[in-house]
Amino acid sequence: MSPAISPASGGRTVNIAAYKFVTLDELPALREAMRERALALGLKGTVLLAPEGVNLFLAGSGQAIEDFLQWLRGDVRFADLQVKSSVSDTVPFGKMLVKIKREIIRMDHPAIRPEAGRAPGVDGPTLARWLAQGRDDAGRELLLLDTRNAFEVDVGTFEGAVDWRIARFTQFPAAVREHLHELQGKTVGSFCTGGIRCEKAAIYMAEAGVPHVYQLEGGILKYFEETGGAGFTGRCFVFDERVSLDPALAPERRPAG
């Protein structure tokens, strides 16, 4: 279930991000139902639907968000949907969009299906401990791998993390093949903004021959929520008008005018 965001929002805008890999059909009907419900509640944001699942970013009043989640979880396919939430002074979206896509996160490798079995995950507190140790609990050297695009990494990342300067996620598989030797003998902790890219990235690396690869559960945003950002330098880029979030999940303060 989602955090108790309504009382904590204090009248401010509540922002949520969530995804789930689950087989979906009749996408046009689902798109219309989601759009109608979101508009009726005054929500704004973007929902992506694909045969492989859903990826959503929504903003509105705390009560409206809770009502939407209650309605959505009434569908058994979304009953266990996990949500990351934060608050802001304004709504960071201009409209409400529900789109049908080929993939909810494009990798162009249809054989990678997280619904069929995901790579092992590591939670925020455990990763923070591994960072402090420099090794995992089995004593293997820890390598943190940022799977995001270069411009996102430049806003903020974990200290010492590796990134391969990719411009888009579809370049990630080729980068893995090029750098595969660098990952051997280490515990690879892959991470991204909210976890969705690592769902595919970690599976791809495991299938490419990386034996000890983990995905950070809930991504950077959940890590901020659980640990306060230990070991993270800078801010986390987000794809909306907030631009970036600090480890307290506060949006970037932009100059007026």
Contact 155, 237 (CB under 8 A): yes
**Contact yes or no for 205/213 (Cβ under 8 A):** yes
Catalytic option among 16, 24, 81, 192: 192
192 is catalytic: yes
Note the helical H segments in 134-250: 150-153, 172-183, 196-208, 219-227
DSSP assignment letter at 133: H
Tell me the C-alpha distance between 54 and 142, whole Å. Answer: 31
| Nearby residues of 105 by Cβ (< 8 Å), 6 or more positions away | 19, 55, 169, 196, 197, 199, 200
**Those residues with Cβ within 8 angstroms of residue 186's Cβ, 6 or more apart along the chain or in another chain:** 140, 141, 142, 143, 212
- From residue 165, alpha-carbon distances to 89, 145, 153, 190 in Å are 33, 11, 8, 15
Q: Report the catalytic residues.
A: 192
